[in-house]
Amino acid sequence: MTSAPPHGALEVEESTAHHWVAWVDDLVIVFVYEGSDDDVAHVAAATRVVERLHRKLRLPLRMLFVIPEMLGKAPTARVRAAIMESGRRLHGTIARVSLAVLGTGFGPALHRSAATGVLTLLRPQARWKIHASVHEALRFLLDEGYAGHRAIAARCDEELLAHAERKRPASMQQASSR
């Protein structure tokens, strides 16, 4: 059984070395990478997309927030403040949030625990859950039988692979392209 594509095409809002923000239908997707700990651009881009989609669709949205690697640093006070302000500004516009902190072991578990603390302080109205994989997170966010589930999961996997390739040293990239 194959899955039909989502109702709309996945649109990339912003793609930088520090983050990737995209959306499809009522789902906003944010990937944060190394360097995002002191860069509020991903918060601004995600806030902009949520506000725009909420005005257009007039229904609460879903958000997938992905931390694909151990960033090593917690968000700075400036980024935490931007997240808190965005949370207040977007109050009532998001129905479900899923945070995927990828990986197993102590480090990712510690990040998931810290995120639980932040979300507890933020007290979002939205239902939220923290996961260890993008696929688990999408199962929580998307309705059973949502036609675009596989296409969205595949596009997220593509972004993870593309980011890993961008991070590789140039000498390794040249060797693998020969």
Tell me whether strands 19-24 and 27-32 are parallel, antiparallel or unpaired: antiparallel
pLDDT in tens, 4-17: 334 678 999 999 99
**CB-CB contact of 43 with 81 (8 Å):** no
Q: Would you give per-residue pLDDT tens digits along the chain (178 residues)?
A: 333 334 678 999 999 999 999 999 999 999 999 889 899 999 999 999 999 999 999 999 999 999 987 666 778 999 989 988 998 899 899 999 999 989 888 888 888 888 888 778 777 788 999 999 999 999 999 987 787 888 899 999 999 998 888 877 655 545 555 5
Domain ranges of the chain: 11-148
> Using the 8-state DSSP alphabet, how is residue 6 labeled?
P
**CB-CB contact of 51 with 93 (8 Å):** yes
Q: Which of 65, 71, 72, 67 is nearest to 50 (CA)?
A: 65
For residue 129, list its beta bridge partners: 98
Cα separation, 156 vs 138, whole angstroms: 10
**CB-CB contact of 97 with 126 (8 Å):** yes
Length of the chain: 178
Fold of the 11-148 domain: Transcription Regulator spoIIAA (3.30.750)
Q: Is the pTM of this model over 0.75?
A: yes
